[in-house]
Amino acid sequence: MAVTSGAETRPAPGGPAPRRAPAAGGALSIAKKLLTLREGSIIVVTLVTFVYFAITTSNFVTANSFKSLLPYFAPLAIIAAGEVFVMILGEIDLSVGAVYLFTPFMWHVFHHAGLPLYPSIIIALLIAMLIGVVNGIFVAYVGIASFVATLGMLFLLDGLSLVISHSTPVQVPGTKIGAVNNFAQIFGGGTYSELFWAIGIVIVLQLVLSFSRWGIYTVSVGGNRLGAAEAGIRTRQILVRNFVLAALLSGFVGILEVVRTTSATPDPSGSNTILLEVVAAAIIGGTLMTGGDGTIVGALIGALFLGMLTEGLTIKGVSASYLDLYLGIAILIAMTLNVIVRRVRVGSGRG
Amino acid sequence: MAEQAFAGEHIVGPAEAPDDVLRVEHVAKRFGPITAIRDINLHLRKGEVLALLGDNGAGKSTMIKILSGFHKPDTGTMWLKGEPYLPKSVDDARAHGIDTVFQDLALVDQLSVYHNLFLRRERVHRPIPFLSNRLMKREARKALDEIGINIPSLDVPVARLSGGQRQAIAVARTVSGDADIILLDEPLAAMGAKEGAMILDLIARLKAEGNVSIVMILHNYVHVFAACDRVSLIQDGVIVLDKPTSETSVDELTEIVVEEYRRARLAERSGNGAGAAGASSAAPANPTSPDTAE
Ligand SMILES: Nc1ncnc2c1ncn2[C@@H]1O[C@H](COP(=O)(O)OP(=O)(O)O)[C@@H](O)[C@H]1O
Ligand SMILES: [Mg+2]
């Protein structure tokens, strides 16, 4: 079984490696280096998972299986990048799935009203950003806990999506079933389109997080909000900005996904599943719920891990009802490992 | 003298000197039902080191936070080098040449030493404003060496450092900027004798250079008489004493504080509050322990 074999292999590099390092050779020292990264444990877990499925199934390492993995993992990675920016603040955005669901309908509405393709997309994305502004204002200025504010937004947008669409799927502008044009090729329809978007967005945002003022202010607001304000950081502005980023990315992925599937379906339960997977990817990837620390690349690998697990278990023929069970167990194991590795990294007694 | 220390009985009125860089007149600040400061009159002369003293909860940090642009005063006026002064933000105060070491240090545990040292004054590349970590590290090393504090690695998050090291970083951050008025809220609170002496040396050096004027909140009278030119003492949100250190003594300052405790105990026994504002001075607090304002 995926889970047990993973658990057996992992503690070797994960647990005692740092202590045994002086006596051991190059492999262990590389493992040690790896584990000093925030993303260390998830990289190891993902590799182990990959190797496990590669060995135990005959058709896991194929182009086809990779391609069917993409639509699962790339959207998660992009939305999770925004969610990480919010989670580092010590907040959470529960409305990312709802924005993902809602934005394509806005696009449809404005296109239907006569706006050309690109302007209507831009307006839909501006509306997504506006939703982020509202989230941010509720949290930063009104002072509502982000969990509550964005939960309200989640229901509001789910409801609005159902109302606007009359609970029926709509055909997406700029796409035709069975024909992929240039526009669709770029915005989600091409096989690797979402992958390229995901990699590009993740790289840019990781750079922003690690090497820009915005990044260290985000860490500051999450790590010590009062201290950040005393130092002169406009903490509320950072809060609003990061909620806007999360909403924008969610809306954008919404558009990519409906272009890929050529229709927009008002399915709140599907979008809420995406919310949960996004949060799981972020946390598995090494981002703290408590704020002050997080990684975009980690979230991408977290999404990859979740995608691989789903894909691998499906290939192994695990029945649908067991899939979630195994997923849950694997997530718990990955998280536990994260905590252990973090303790080793930060120093015992912490974490 | 002791009788004069009654809050409301002997409030030091607005004072001034011809070479004042900073002047505060009748400043008051409430937080909801709590009056943090009632009527503060202060002045700071060019090149001077002023000690701001007072019991826990007297309103010292609130006064500092008003000067540093973090809080807005409810009433009162402030003057900076002859101009009306009402900072809109911490950045604004900094732009006016006023920088602060806050009591809670305002450090971010998760950030490295040098990111903390340059928080809000980051050095960036051009044209893409990515952080210039190498430059910041180099300048951080220089600033810390100048203070003489030993921080082995600038890359570690400040969470790993001792209380004294953290305080030194907060002081270095403020001192290495280009402020000419420096506010220090209990800069020696978490420091051992050796580190404390380093900071006092630094203050003495800054004073000798004559470019900065300093307001310092202290609790230890040894430090007050070693480093400061003048003392202002706050009780229950008003200034009750303003004297050059050469004209006062440990005995006089102690007497005022002892009298305050006596009064607080009396008030407690007779079932009254300790005075108009003294929500916190009624509690027998340890005057040497750092308090948490927020
Ligand atoms: N942000 C705030 N909100 C509410 N009350 C405050 C706040 N800051 C200070 N106070 C109150 O104001 C009074 C003065 O506090 P402070 O200025 O921190 O005193 P000190 O620094 O002299 O110990 C205390 O009673 C304190 O509880
Ligand atoms: Mg204080």
B162-189 pLDDT per residue, tens:
999 999 999 999 999 999 999 999 999 8
Confidence of residue B5 (pLDDT cuts 50, 70, 90): very low
Taking CA atoms, what residue in B is nearest to A291?
Answer: B110
Q: Residue A90: its chain B contacts at CB < 8 A?
A: none
Domain ranges of chain A: 42-341
**Residue B7 counted as domain residue:** no
Alpha-carbon dihedral angle through residues A179, A180, A183, A188, given to the nearest 10 degrees: 130
DSSP B280: T
Query: Cβ–Cβ of B102/A207 closer than 8 Å?
Result: no
Ligand 1 pocket, residue B34 CB under 6 Å? yes
Q: Which helix (H) or strand (E) holds A221?
A: helix A213-223
**B174 in a domain, yes or no?**
yes
What pLDDT digit, counting tens, does each position of B203-219 carry? 999 999 999 999 999 99
B58 lines ligand 1 (CB under 6 A): yes
pLDDT of residue A37: 78
Is B207 close to ligand 1, i.e. is its CB under 6 Å away? no
Q: What stretch of H or E contains A332? A: helix A320-346
By the CB < 8 Å criterion, does B272 face chain A? no
Residues of chain B with pLDDT > 70: what percent?
89
Exposed e or buried b per residue across A172-193, where buried means at least 16 C-beta atoms within 10 angstroms of its C-beta: bbbbeeeebeebbeebbbbeeb
Q: At A176, is the pLDDT very low, low, confident or very high (cuts 50, 70, 90)?
A: confident
User: Looking up tokens 């008025």, which residue turns up?
Assistant: B181
**B242 in any annotated domain:** yes
| Domain contains B245 | yes
Mean per-residue pLDDT, B227-255: 94
Spatial distance between the Cα atoms of B69 and B97, rounded to a whole number of angstroms: 12
**Which CATH number belongs to the domain containing residue B163 in this structure?**
3.40.50.300
In a domain, B8, yes or no: no
Structural domain total, chain B: 1
Q: What domain range is B233 assigned to?
A: 20-271
Among A212, A226, A347, whose Cβ lies nearest the Cβ of B131?
A: A212
Name the minimum distance, in Å, from the CA of B73 to any CA of chain A: 16
pLDDT digits (tens, 9 = 90+) for B97-114: 999 999 999 999 999 999
pLDDT mean over A330-344: 82
Whole-number Å distance between alpha carbons of A50 and B219: 61
Contacts of B68 in chain A (CB under 8 A): 230
Over range A44-49, report the average pLDDT: 90
User: Lowest-confidence range among A55-59, A115-119, A227-231, B286-290?
Assistant: B286-290
Domain assignment of residue B189, yes or no: yes
In a domain, B9, yes or no: no
Q: Is B94 on the interface with A (CB under 8 A)?
A: yes
Q: Which ligand lies nearest the alpha carbon of B57?
A: 1
Residue B279 has pLDDT above 80, yes or no: no
Q: How far apart are CA B215 and CA B64, in angstroms?
A: 9
Residue B116 and residue B173 in contact, taking contact as beta carbons nearer than 8 Å: yes
Q: How confident is the model at residue A15 (pLDDT cuts 50, 70, 90)?
A: very low
B108–A220 CB contact, under 8 Å: yes
Query: Which listed CATH number (1.20.120, 1.10.287, 1.20.1300, 1.10.3470) goes with A42-341?
Result: 1.10.3470
Of B283, B275, B184, B287, whose CA–CA distance to B238 is shortest?
B275
Q: Is residue B5 part of a domain?
A: no
